[in-house]
Amino acid sequence: MIAARRAAEPPAMEGYEHPKKERQGAFPLDDRHDSGLDSMKEEEYRQLVKELEDIRLQPREPPAWAQQLTFLHLAIIHEEKALSLEVIQQAAGDRAFLNFQNNLSQTPLHLAVITDQPEIAEHLLKAGCDLEMRDFRGNTPLHIACQQGSLRSVSVLTQYCQPHHLLAVLQAANYNGHTCLHLASIQGYLGIVEYLLSLGADVNAQEPCNGRTALHLAVDLQNSDLVSLLVKHGADVNKVTYQGYSPYQLTWGRDNSSIQEQLKQLTTADLQMLPESEDEESSESEPEYTEDEVSSCCHFYKRRGKSCPVQDIFWCCFDSMPQ
């Protein structure tokens, strides 16, 4: 064997540094591609393999809101019409599945109305969805359709709903005390208001919190067209709130004089004038200080040679004060 010749080292030069020699028997870092397993003992290698086989990846627990979503919820949210219809067809008659509520208490029917998919809403009702289900705000799907102004959704929901269910929904108030008619009136959707009244909605239904009717709301909003529509359908102009105010009395101080003139002709005389304020009556009848409090005050300042600060408002008899 011919021995390899070592190249002659270059002569030492000033400022020149010899490259560091690699350790004998070591491989360059770039040339080593093994994982080091070859250097393990057989028993260590088998133990490592066994530990790797025993590892089982635990699936992460989905968040609470995700646990309350069905495939149908997701298909409707993402507006996957074909998938939604397929799931509805397969789940027809399964009311527990069709009326399943998410973390916001929304059923698939709520979501179909929110995303403005009347066709999906129609199939859900035909399959067995309940129109009376409420979300976390107490809204039924019909409440949401009226608030959004979707006449198509309102038409579908009322057309494919059982008559006794429809009447209950029309009379139902959400957690803010608003019926479907109230919500449509607040938003000014005259077409929906007229359609709800034709279905039998109570035009004189009052808010539970303060007793306002749709007509009171129309006056508050200064919507003259809505006022005319409600009066045309039999709204009681003499209906008062829990504080005793008629719709006409709410027109005082408002800019729209046409509403005031329209209601004045229909409102009884005793409900045209504003009621006297109880606070003003009580402030006139009840003095701010009692006689005992005034006497004690005057006596306190008299003993100190000072004038009583309330004597300009109340009488003070200094001669009768105890010494």
Q: Which of 163, 185, 202 is the last residue of a domain?
A: 202
Do 195 and 78 have their domain in common? yes
Alpha-carbon span 244 to 308, nearest angstrom:
43
Residues 207 and 251 placed together within one structural domain of the fold: yes
- Structural domain of residue 321, as residue ranges? 291-323
Last residue of a domain, one of 187, 202, 217: 202
> Which residue pairs, CB below 8 angstroms and at least 24 apart, start in 258-263?
258/224, 259/219, 259/222, 259/224, 259/227, 262/224, 262/227, 262/228, 262/231, 263/219, 263/227, 263/231, 263/237
* 231 and 123 in a common domain: no
Angle between helices 180-187 and 190-198 (to 10 degrees): 160
192 & 96 share domain: yes
Residue 47 in any domain: the answer is no
Residues 124 and 112 in one domain: yes
User: Do 71 and 141 share a structural domain?
Assistant: yes
Same domain, 156 and 210: no
Structure confidence at residue 316 (pLDDT): 42
Distance, in Å, from the CA atom of 107 to the CA atom of 133, rounded to the nearest integer, reads 8
pLDDT (tens digit, 0 to 9) for every residue of the chain, 323 residues total?
444 444 445 555 455 455 555 545 554 555 555 555 566 678 887 887 777 777 765 666 656 555 557 889 999 999 999 999 999 999 998 999 999 999 999 999 999 999 999 999 999 999 999 999 999 999 999 999 999 999 999 999 999 887 888 999 999 999 999 999 999 999 999 999 999 999 999 999 999 989 999 999 999 999 999 999 999 999 999 999 999 999 999 998 888 889 999 999 999 988 888 766 544 444 444 544 455 554 555 555 555 555 555 444 444 444 444 44
Has residue 191 been placed in a domain? yes
- Structural domain count of the chain: 3
Query: Within a domain: residue 5?
Result: no
Q: Are residues 186 and 243 in the same domain?
A: no
4 is a domain residue: no
- CB contact set of 83 (below 8 Å; sequence gap of 6+): 71, 75
Residue at 240 is within a domain: yes
Residues 214 and 192 in one domain: no
**243 and 315, same domain (yes or no):** no
* CATH code for the domain in which residue 122 is found: 1.25.40.20
In this structure, the answer to whether residues 118 and 192 fall within a common structural domain is yes
**pLDDT at residue 176 in the model:** 94
Structural domain includes residue 116:
yes
d(CA 225, CA 214): 13
231 located within any domain: yes
- Same domain? For 71 and 197 the reply is yes
